[in-house]
Each structure stands twice: as structure tokens, then as C-alpha cells.
Amino acid sequence: MNFKKRIATFLMISWLLIPAMSLAGEHPSLIMTKAGVEKIRAELGTVPLFDATLALVKAEVDAEIALGIDTPVPKDFSGGYTHQRHKQNFLVMQKAGALFQILEDEKYAHYVRDMLFQYEAMYKNLPVHPQTRSYARGKLFWQNLNDSNWLVYTSQAYDCIYDWLSEEERRKLEDNLFRPFADYISVESPQFFNRVHNHSTWGNAAVGLIGLVMGDDELVERALYGLQDDGLEVGAKDNDGGFIKVEGQKVGFLANIDEPFSPDGYYTEGPYYQRYAMYPFLIFALGLNNVKPEAEIFKHKNGVLLKGVDALLNLSDADGEFFPLNDGQKGMSYYSRELVTAVDIAYHVGGQDPRLLSIAEEQGQVLLDDAGFSVAAAIRDGKAEPFEKRSINLSDGPDGKQGGVAILRYGDEDLTLVYKYAAQGLSHGHYDKLSFSLFEKGDEVLQDYGLARFVNIEQKGGGNYLKENTTWAKQTIAHNTITQNETSHFEGKYEVGSEHHSELQFYDDSNSDVQVVSAIEKSAYPGTLMRRTMAVIKNQSFEKPFVLDIFKLKSNKKNQYDLPFYFMGQVLQVNFEYDVPALLRALGKENGYQHLYVEGKGKPATNDTKFSWMGGNRFYTLTSATNTSDELYFTRIGANDPEFNLRRDAALMIRRKDSKGTVFASVVEAHGSYSPVSEFAVNSKSNIATLNVIYDDDNYTAVAIEDLQGDKSVFIVSNANTSATQQHQVEIETRKHEWTGPFHYFTMEQ
């Protein structure tokens, strides 16, 4: 069969006008357009990043073609051969389709066609996948989620060879493969398709994309608005514990934009899943934008899809790795294929932000499509500008009123505080109200554990979530926040947690030397009000910035409060006595406590408990205002973990018993460094002499920090009125202080 060249006259129309035109009926039209392809072909060899990516992808696809096509009978979980092979297949088909368009070499079209027909032959009689763990089993994969991945990628491949196939071939593929496939993951799997969840986003996008290619408006409508009558009962749950149907909730692709994205572009499941969902969001949106520009999808909800890309880039550390909030696998970064997609599309359709080009340069690759070409050409033309991450406050919730995540950065990400005061985050959320994590450059100083899963590593529970994700990673004690009475927030009940969220009190990054965020949580423990104010402060007496943490509790009864600090590194020194047990036993029996060994237990020796550690050849010190009745624990993760699913990381935990109202006030200093090559230890000690809560009532809490030079600084936070314009006046230790706004930080005269 010959390749039919059809260069229509509209190809002469200016590049800039393309996005506004409907390409309905044209192929390709999803991620590539005829006009775009012409431009790519014309400039091949002159666009270094595109050319380099093309060479790499060509080598990869050529190797796969040489290997031959395999579409094994589905059998395995993630990580197993049949799973990996089918996954590899759709990734390679998508690339082969693009290569066919760009290089006009029919071997790529043949490859896609032949593989599609193997799937066509197999799919007709394919039963549901034999693995039964999923609430929505797929056919090629153990869950419909992965089947949807397949269709999202395969739709793009089909689009690329659509015109090249005969009508008969298309009819056969559409009747026997694509339409049944789309129906299976939608009408036959309403519990999967009709939700607000990243799973459904994939399902919606898959159905919508194949609908766009086939010109099937019914499928596109189904994708955008979901199934009208799904027959689902309210309250049913999936195998991750997430709700399937929520009373009155809209469904479909648009609802999946409206609900989980805040107006700031924060996705309620957290950055790891935002990264995962961005691909179907943006690919389907791009196709829709090409074929049905009248939908103005990129303007939906004030352009939240593009804001989401910016938010996601900001949710990464200095190495580009995403903060592992909620269920997040550490190491996932903006170097992932999903973020290459996101950055390229955001640049292409989102106003050519030149800062995105520097990220694309770091990624070292672009999409082999119109968007990727735009990016590569702009980089070639020297348009890239640095993407400087600054402090940012991202609201959570569809209307931005369900808490959020604040990221306070000092300098060039020299110190980055991630403070989470968000909503539950759907089924991948953790019970971690008012928790935080801390980074110096790209290194974790105080960690968020992330998920308990080895994604796609078959030996570890099929590569799926491990039970320790529920028993440990989601529990409150696994986080750097308060656990009351050894019970997780909302008693670890998803139904309850999903009804509540923390509330921002104030956020102020206007002074880079004193950046502050404060939030409260009223519902995690009924009857207890938690208020945590965190500041990143650069005081000239200190070498590096430090974090001030004021965690105030007020309850209607006496409780036990546990506040752990999951430090990364090795203990250097403490200023308190402690006993080390001869036998290591678990700290508790449930709610995550069963996974913590007690390596040491002590009591504060003074009012300032000090703990220094070394991590990544840098020094850190926690100084905390403590009572002599507090208990101090060295804990280590790993108890009741028979399969070694958990990392053996450590924490220092402060326990305060029999307290109604109390304040945990702490400073975490980063200081100095060590070189194992020069063997010089620089500034290895804390600069803090004393830290005291010098005032605390319903209106104000004040903390005084005296450094080794004898200088004293005071931080006063308002607990009652946190408006930026409110004037305050309070007398502390016989001195009167006046200021405007929710907090006041000043250095005392000696």
C-alpha cells in the first residue's frame, strides 16, 4: 500500500492560526496536525533538541521492530512480563505513529497496523484479566486503569496511521477493537469510569481520544460528561478504600478538572498523582483543542490545566523531584515522560512561557509532535529563561477553600519547607494534617515517608500498594505532625477525613528573610484545636536560614501528644539523658505505632531539648522548648514488617502527656558542612543558646530565641485575629510590643 500524500491548501495558512481551526475529520489531529507535520518535516535537522529526541526514539522503536511483536495472553500484575510487555507495546506504538508521520517511512505504519491487528484478533474473545485484586479489572491488564493507559496511547498511534489504512482495515479495528474497548472501560465499568479520580480521568481521556479519532461524537460526549445512568450505589469503595460514588457529584472529564483541581492548579491527590493524571488531561485537552476548538478546553475553569503544570513544577525540590505528599513514590520528577508532555503542551498552547524552555532543556527531550517541535525550535532560537522556583501557596479544593500546601523557599532552594494543610486528597490521601517536610537543596532534611510501594517491581506485592501503605505510610505517626492519644487523624477513617480540611490562617512570603504560614485543624481530633505556624527565618547571626515551628494545641480534655521529627542522617549529639533498651520492641500496637521500634527513651534535661544530626555531609540541630515531664524517644521504622517493606529510617519523637492546652515550639537549624575528603567539619554546632515560649494565651503565642552571641529574637503570632491589617498590642515580660498583621518578628536590643 502506498502512502497517500494529501497536502491541502490550508497547510499554507500561517502556523499561528492553526490552534483556532477545527481539524475535525482530518488525520492526524490529536497531538500532531497536518500543518504541524509539514513544518516539522521542513525543518528537520535544524532543531537540535527535536533532532536528538527523534534519533533516540527512532533507535528505540527500530530495536523494538527488530525484536518483533508480542501480545501475550494477559496474566501478570504490574511488574510481571505480560503487564510490562503490553505497557511497552502502547508506548512504542505511539512513538512509531509519530515516526511514521515525521519520517514518512511505512515500516512504522506497518508496525502499528500489525500490532493493532494482533490486538484486534485477541480482544474479541479476551476474558476479564485473571488477577482479581482490582475493583475494576481490565482485560489486557489487571485493572482498567492500565487498559485506559493503553487506549490513550494507542489512539494517538491510530490517528497517525488513520489515513494510511484502508477503510476496511479501519472498520475492522474500530468494530472489533476500539469501540468494544471503549465500551468495556466505560459503560461496562461504571465504577471505574464514573468517578472523580485519576483512574476516571484516564478512562475519560481514553474514550474521548478514540472518539476524536473515529469522529464519534457520542464517545466524546461520554468522555466529557460521563455516563448518564451508571447504576452505582452511593458509598461503594474501591480496593484502595476510595469512594466510587458520591452523592450529587458530577462525573466525566470536565468534572475531573472541576473537582480535584484547585483554582491554583493544585491537584488534591498530590503531586505524584497530579503528574500521573496530567498526561491524560493534557493529551485529551490538546486533541479536543485541535478537533473541537470551540470547547475552549484550555480556558476551562480559568485555564486551570495550564496552571496545573506550573503548580506541579513548583511542587518539586531543587533536583526536580516531586515532594512525596500523600501516596507519592520518591524519585519521581519532572524528568518523567508525563512532565515532558506537560511542559511541551503548556508551552505550545499556553502562551509560550520562556521559563518552561529551561525545564525542557533540563529534560533533554521533547515530544515528537507539534508541541515538542515548538519547544525545541524556541530553545534553538535562544528563548529559554530560568525557571526560578519561589515560595508559593497553593490552595486545595475545587473552589480553593479546602486548605492547601505552602512551600517556603529561601534563596536558590537552599532551604525549602513544605507545609501541608490540605484536604484529604481522595483515596491516596494521608492522615497528615499540618505536617511538614524540609529540604536543603535537593536533599531531605526531615522527610515525608511517601508511599509504601515499589511501583512495578513485581517481587514486592506485584508492584502494587503494600499493606504497610495503610498500616504505616498513611497513618499520622508516620508524619512530622501531632498524633493525639496514639490515634490517627479522623481515627484514620477516610469517610470522616474526606468531609474536612484544614484552614489557612495566613501566608506571607513578602519578606524573604521572614516567611510565615499558619493554619488550623479543628476536626482531626474532635474537641482539639491544632494550630501550627511555621516560618523560614534568616537571621544575620545565623549562617543559614532556620525553621521556626510553633504547634499550639487546645483541647477540651487531657491528651497525650506525640510530635516526631523524621530526620535523615545519623545522630550526632543530644543534651539529654536517655536509656537504650536491651531488646527493641514496638512503640505501640496499632495506627502505625506497631511499626516503630524504640531505640532510646529519655527525659529533657533542660527547658531546651537539643538534638543534632548529620545528613548528606551537612549538620542540623533541632532545638525544642520542652518540659521535664516530656518523654523523648528515638524511634526507628521497621517493627512488624516481616517482608522488609519499610525503610529503616529514624525519628526523634517528643511525647507530652496529660495536656489540654500546650505549645510545641521548635527550631530546626541547618548549619555547616563536612567533607570526607578534606575531613574539615565546618560550623558543626547549633547557634541557639535558649528557646522559650515566653507568652501563650488564646490571643498570642510568643517564642524567644537567644543565640550564642547573646542576641535575642522574638516571634509573636496572633491566634485570634490573623488579618493582615489588624493592629496588635501585647505586653510580654514587662515590655510592650505593637505591630500590624498576624505576626511580629524582631530582634531585641541587648
Instruction: Name the residues annotated as catalytic.
Output: 273, 428
Shortest distance (Å) from residue 639 CB to a second copy: 8
Shortest distance (Å) from residue 44 CB to a second copy: 26
Residue closer to a second copy by CB (options 281, 619) is 619
371: nearest Cα among 387, 384, 357: 357
Shortest distance (Å) from residue 456 CB to a second copy: 5
- CA atoms of 270 and 425, how far apart (whole Å): 7
Shortest distance (Å) from residue 97 CB to a second copy: 20
- Sorted by sequence, the CB contacts under 8 Å of residue 9 that are 6+ apart come out as none
Residue 663: phi and psi, rounded to 5, are: -130, 130
Shortest distance (Å) from residue 633 CB to a second copy: 13
Q: Which DSSP state fits 143?
A: S
Shortest distance (Å) from residue 702 CB to a second copy: 31
Residue with cell 502505625: 592
Residue with cell 542576641: 711
Residue closer to a second copy by CB (options 186, 326) is 326
CB 597 within 8 A of CB 636: yes
- Angle at the Cα of 368 from the Cα atoms of 365 and 372, rounded to 5 degrees: 65
Residues binding a second copy (CB under 8 A): 79, 84, 329-333, 335-337, 454-460, 463, 570-573, 580, 582-586, 597, 599-600, 612, 614, 617, 634, 636, 638, 640-644, 647-648, 650, 674, 676-681, 684-685
90: nearest Cα among 66, 64, 67, 53: 64
- CA atoms of 242 and 399, how far apart (whole Å): 21
Residue closer to a second copy by CB (options 191, 363) is 363
3-class DSSP state for residue 27? coil
Residue closer to a second copy by CB (options 333, 692) is 333
Residue closer to a second copy by CB (options 170, 601) is 601
In 10 A of CB 78, how many CB atoms?
22
Radius of gyration of the chain (CA): 28
3-class DSSP state for residue 709? coil
Shortest distance (Å) from residue 583 CB to a second copy: 4
CB 204 within 8 A of CB 224: yes
CB 342 within 8 A of CB 279: yes
- Measured in residues, the chain has a length of 750
332: nearest Cα among 342, 322, 344, 341: 322
Shortest distance (Å) from residue 91 CB to a second copy: 10
Residue closer to a second copy by CB (options 10, 81) is 81
Residue closer to a second copy by CB (options 617, 747) is 617
Shortest distance (Å) from residue 334 CB to a second copy: 9
Residue closer to a second copy by CB (options 541, 617) is 617
187: nearest Cα among 217, 132, 158, 144: 144
Shortest distance (Å) from residue 343 CB to a second copy: 14
451: nearest Cα among 466, 436, 435, 433: 466
548: nearest Cα among 749, 329, 357, 702: 702
- Sorted by sequence, the CB contacts under 8 Å of residue 675 that are 6+ apart come out as 617
Is residue 467 exposed (0-12), middle (13-18) or buried (19+ Cβ within 10 Å)?
exposed
DSSP string, 199-236: HHHHHHHHHHHHHHHHT-HHHHHHHHH--S---PPTT-
- CA atoms of 105 and 623, how far apart (whole Å): 66
Shortest distance (Å) from residue 313 CB to a second copy: 15
Residue closer to a second copy by CB (options 135, 674) is 674
CB 663 within 8 A of CB 696: yes
- CA atoms of 608 and 468, how far apart (whole Å): 35
CB 80 within 8 A of CB 462: yes
Q: Beta 528-537 vs 650-659: how paired, if at all? A: unpaired
- CA atoms of 430 and 433, how far apart (whole Å): 8
- CA atoms of 403 and 424, how far apart (whole Å): 10
Cell of 63: 530495536
CB 693 within 8 A of CB 625: yes
